[in-house]
Amino acid sequence: MKLKFFATYRTIANCMEREISAPGDVWSLLQALAEEYGAQMRAKLFTPDGGDIGMDAIILVNGMNVAHLKGKSTELSEGDTVAIFPMVAGG
């Protein structure tokens, strides 16, 4: 599957996008990313208690916010695209 980083996540990961093997679900993916990239990534991805996706993490699976799918339990498959954004705004 394809993994894309944007804005501050791109800075932390020093990577725009890459191919990875699909983990079981979004939660597994986020745990793996926190493990790989360390404390700064963990602090942005998770709530302070570590129990949920944090306020500053917008996770899209094939363009849909996981909040409107199955949240952190959203399953991932080969062929999916996951895009990770901080909270951003514009206009």
Partner 1 sequence: MNAWVGVILRVDLAAKTIEREPLNMKDAHDFVGARGLATKYFCDEVDPNVEPLSPQNKLIYMTGPLTGTGAASGGRFEVVAKAPLTGTIGAANAGGYFGPELKYAGYDGIIFENASDKPVYLYINDDVVELRDAWGLWGKSVYETTDLLIAECGESFKVSCIGPTGENGCLFSGVLNDKHRAAGRGGMGAVMGSKKLKAVAVRGTGSVNVARPVEFMDALVDARQKLKEHPVGGTGLAVFGTQVLVNIINESGALPTHNWRDGGYFPEADATGGESLADNYLVKNKGCFGCSIDCARVTRVPDGPFKSEGEGPEYEAGWSYGANCGVSDLAAICKASFLCNEYGMDPITLGATIACAMELSEMGAIPESDVGFKLRFGDPHAIVNLTEMVGKNEGFGKTLALGSYRMAEMYGHPELSMSVKKQEMPAYDGRAVQGMALEYATSNRGGCHVRGYMTSPEILGVPIKVDPLVTEGKASLLKLFQDLTALIDSLGVCLFTTFGLGLPELAAQYKHAVGTDETDEEILLKGERIWNIEKHFNIAAGVEKDTLPPRLLREALPSGPAAGKVAELHAMLGEYYELRGWDADGVPTDLKNKELGLANEA
| Shortest Å distance, C-beta 55 to partner 1 | 7
Number of residues counted as binding partner 1 (CB under 8 A): 24
Q: What angle (nearest 5°) sits at the alpha carbon of residue 28, between those of residues 84 and 2?
A: 45
Instruction: Give the residue from 78, 71, 64 showing the smallest Cα distance to 2.
Output: 78
> Which of 2, 23 has the CB closer to partner 1?
2
Residue numbers of the site for partner 1 (CB under 8 A)?
4, 6-8, 10, 16, 55-56, 58, 60, 62-65, 67-68, 83, 85-91
